[in-house]
Amino acid sequence: MKPLLTLVLAFGLTAASALAEAPKTVIHFITVAFKSDATPEQIQAVLDGAQKLPGQYKGITRVWTKALKVQNVEEAKVKKTHLIAMEFADEASLKAYAESDAQKKWYEIYLPIRQQSTTFDVTN
């Protein structure tokens, strides 16, 4: 019984320690409204291009593009339709991404069909 109790306590302390250490990654959220004449194929190319960014820029660790819920305020003049979330290794990686070759390449397909976007960056 004593070894089991020791194991449970050790597991509990390890889990509590892991929860106490918040990640230092940065999540970059982009809410997007595409231009009305943007085709579904163009929009998909933008989302696919975002998914490829971790292979093109070492500071991006993950990308999410499948929005499960998009909520706009009633009075919003431009309704956002898509969300792209990028996880960066740290704040320095996010800052270095601006004007990087990877960003410039993705912007070639993204900016021509973007009507409006808003970004938020969050970390611990």
pLDDT band per the 50, 70, 90 thresholds, residue 21: confident
Is 109 contained in some domain?
yes
Is 3 contained in some domain?
no
Is 63 contained in some domain?
yes
pLDDT band per the 50, 70, 90 thresholds, residue 15: low
From the list 120, 48, 59, the residue with the least C-alpha distance to 92 is 59
CATH number of 64's domain: 3.30.70.100
Contacts of residue 65, defined as CB under 8 A and 6 or more positions apart, other chains included, come to: 47, 50, 51, 82, 83, 84, 85
What's this model's pTM, rounded to 2 decimal places? 0.81
pLDDT in tens, 22-66: 889 999 999 999 999 999 999 999 999 999 999 999 999 999 999
* C-alpha count within 13 angstroms, C-beta hemisphere, residue 112: 11
Instruction: Give Rg (Cα) of the chain.
Output: 20
DSSP 57-71: -TTEEEEE---S---
Is 33 contained in some domain?
yes
Task: Output b/e per residue, 99-113; b: 16+ Cβ within 10 A.
Answer: ebebbeebeebbeeb
Is 91 contained in some domain?
yes
Give how many domains the chain has, as a whole number. 1
Is 34 contained in some domain?
yes
Read off the tokens for 18. Answer: 């892991």
Whole domain around residue 52: which residue ranges? 23-122
Is 30 contained in some domain?
yes
